[in-house]
Structure formats: structure tokens, C-alpha cells
Amino acid sequence: MSSLRSLFLVHLPYSCSKATTRYAAICMSRSAVPVIDMQGLHGLSRSSTVSDIGKACHEKGYFQLTNHGIASSTLDGTLDIATAFFELATDKKLELMSVDITRPVRFSLIKEVVMGQEQIQRLFLKHYAHPLEEWIHMWPSEPLDYRTKMGTYSVEARKVALQVMEAIVESLRLGRDYLKDQLQDGLQVMALHAYPPCTSTDPCSSFGIAPHSDYSIITIVLQKSPGLEELDPKTNKWELLPHQHGSLFVHVGNYLEVISNGLYKSAVHKVSANDRDNTRVSIASLHSLSIDEKVCVPDNLVTVHTPKGYKESSFRDFLRFLSINQDFGVQGDVMVWIEKQ
Ligand SMILES: O=C(O)CCC(=O)C(=O)O
Ligand SMILES: [Fe+2]
């Protein structure tokens, strides 16, 4: 894969994550997470909402969505069914276990040894979700209503993602219909995570999920309880996302960094050490173009002052890269996957 050059690992300070409660409070108060009211996309205030989304993508790389139109009961039901999946007997889950990252449905668990004791740091289930009819029959058949509930949420989350991506391309002045058909046919991957309580008497120092950015255009995250932290690019400090019932969070993914020619940078995020009492469950919905569609810098965004900064690449290129670089994104390093020019 020599053509995939310039993949970079950047080591960044974790000052906020190791912080005391007081320090964390300072991080929170200094830079609030932008909140986008999606209702604003449907009326006369569309253009100001579009520019708020553009500003959030440029200045932060992440934002919170309210009034997105997904009923609270759907969100709660989805988190409950995800929790029920992770609570299934281990044998049931292991039937879906695979280390083959190209599998459309894949369960895995990540263990760590703390003071000589093995403990599960994170369990995850990843599956493709769009077009739904192509994948849903491969999803877990248990719990019984898993497919119905996760299917409903996947479709709803995708509708939200399409509206957000349409606003994003508009904010880049690429026109509202830019990539419209490709986005309609795009890939959606659901990544469900469970972070069991840390049972060690030792401080639970490891990450629930190490700092990374997502191989998506955007990712929409639904969380049952707080835990997700974002690296604020301005202050270089970690910002704990607030947990508000019914809200969703959006990240800028690697492919949006390419589509915006670097104007919108991929959001670097992590989940710190697991809670001592509760299992945290989250569901990330990752949206990109279809598997072989190359994502490239639009000609309109290339000028003498802003030369083309990225090579084109597809989701399959990323999968190929990962399968031959299995130690990519080692703990402690921030992982950003982008093919730079
Ligand atoms: O658990 C979370 O909130 C984050 C999950 C995540 O970063 C991912 O699936 O890429
Ligand atoms: Fe992520």
C-alpha cells in the first residue's frame, strides 16, 4: 500500500483528561459545545443555521444537535436494546466475534490486564446499516426486537445525517446538492459500544477508547451516560460532552476533512477510564460514501492560497490499510487517518 503515504500519528497532551474535577470544570466552562437547533434548517433561519454548522465544524469539529426529530422513546429504546445485546450470554455474542475488519457484522471485546487481573475494557458490535434490507438479516437475531429497534433508529439517524451533511456542503459553498446522490447511496456503519465498570482496586488508568478520529464524513453519537470527550483544537484540551437526554452529537470525520480541503478538521475524541459503578453504552452512526467511491477535494475549494491538501481515497482503501497495519492507532497516540497530498 505504498500509495497510502502520509498517514500520521500525532502525540498530543492529555492534560484535561488526567485533571481533577475542578480542572475539568474549567475545561467545560471555557468553551461550551456548540448547540445546533435543527429546526432552524427548515425555515427562514436556514442560512444562519447553515453558517452556525459551518462555524462549529471549523472551530471545533463537533457539536450537539437538538430538535433533530427522533423521538426520545426511539432513542431510549435503541439504547435499551443495545444494552440488552451486550447483556446476552457470552456464547451468543461470541458467535459474531471476528477479527476480520471487512466483515459486515462483527462483535469483539478488548481486554486489559490491571494488576495481574484481566478485565474487559470495552465490548463492541459493528454492523453495516444502509441499505437496510441488504444487511439487517445478518444482524443479531437476539434480543428478539434487536433488528426492529436498531433498524428504526438507523433509518432515523441516517435522515438526520443526510440533513446535516447537506447543510455542511452548503456551508462550504459547494451548493446544496453537492454529492447528493453519492450521499444517498452512502455507507452507514453502526458501532455499538459497552464500557463495563472498572472492578480493579487499582486506579482504572486505561482508556475506554483511545484518542482517534473517525473514518466517516460525519458520525452521530447517542450515549446513555457521559464519557465521550473531544479535543478542542483551539485550547488543545479535552472537553467532556454534556449528557442531555434526547440529544445527539456530531463529529467531523476524516472524509469531511478531505471534502472541505482541511477547513473542517477531523474531531479527535476518546472515552476515558471506565466508570466504577455502571456500564456505559453508546451508539455511533458513521456516514460515508459507498465503499468504492473515492472521496476527493472539490475543485472549487482549491485556490492558490488553499492548494489541494489531500489525495482521493475510498472507504475500501481505509479497510485495506487497516488490515495490513493492525497496530495502527496504538494506545497513547492520537490516530488520524488521512491521505495527505
Ligand atoms: O463511545 C463513544 O461515545 C465513542 C465511540 C466512538 O468514538 C466510535 O465508535 O468511533
Ligand atoms: Fe470515534
Instruction: Give per-residue pLDDT as tens, 53-77.
Output: 999 999 999 999 999 999 999 999 9
Answer whether 110's CB lies under 8 Å from 140's CB.
no
Whole-structure pTM value: 0.89
CA-nearest residue, atom 6 of ligand 1? 284
Q: Is 193 in the pocket of ligand 1 (CB under 6 A)?
A: yes
Q: Is 223 in the pocket of ligand 1 (CB under 6 A)?
A: yes
What is the third-level CATH fold of 30-293+313-325?
Jelly Rolls (2.60.120)
Instruction: Name the pairing type of β-strands 237-240 and 228-232.
Output: antiparallel
Answer whether 237's CB lies under 8 Å from 167's CB.
no
For 22-64, how does the pLDDT look when each residue is reduced to its tens digit (9 = 90+)?
Answer: 233 333 334 589 999 999 999 999 999 999 999 999 999 999 9
CA-nearest residue, atom 10 of ligand 1? 214
- Ligand 1 atom index nearest CA of 191: 9
Preceding omega of 131 cis (within 30 degrees of 0): yes
Q: How many CB atoms lie within 10 A of CB 303?
A: 9
Answer whether 236's CB lies under 8 Å from 211's CB.
no
Q: Is 214 in the pocket of ligand 1 (CB under 6 A)?
A: yes
Q: Is 125 in the pocket of ligand 1 (CB under 6 A)?
A: no
Answer whether 308's CB lies under 8 Å from 297's CB.
yes
Q: Is 24 in the pocket of ligand 1 (CB under 6 A)?
A: no
For 286-313, how does the pLDDT look when each residue is reduced to its tens digit (9 = 90+)?
Answer: 999 999 999 999 999 999 999 999 999 9
CA-nearest residue, atom 5 of ligand 1? 284
Q: Is 241 in the pocket of ligand 1 (CB under 6 A)?
A: no
- Ligand 1 atom index nearest CA of 282: 1
With a cut of 0.90, is the ipTM above it?
yes
Domain borders along the chain are 30-293+313-325
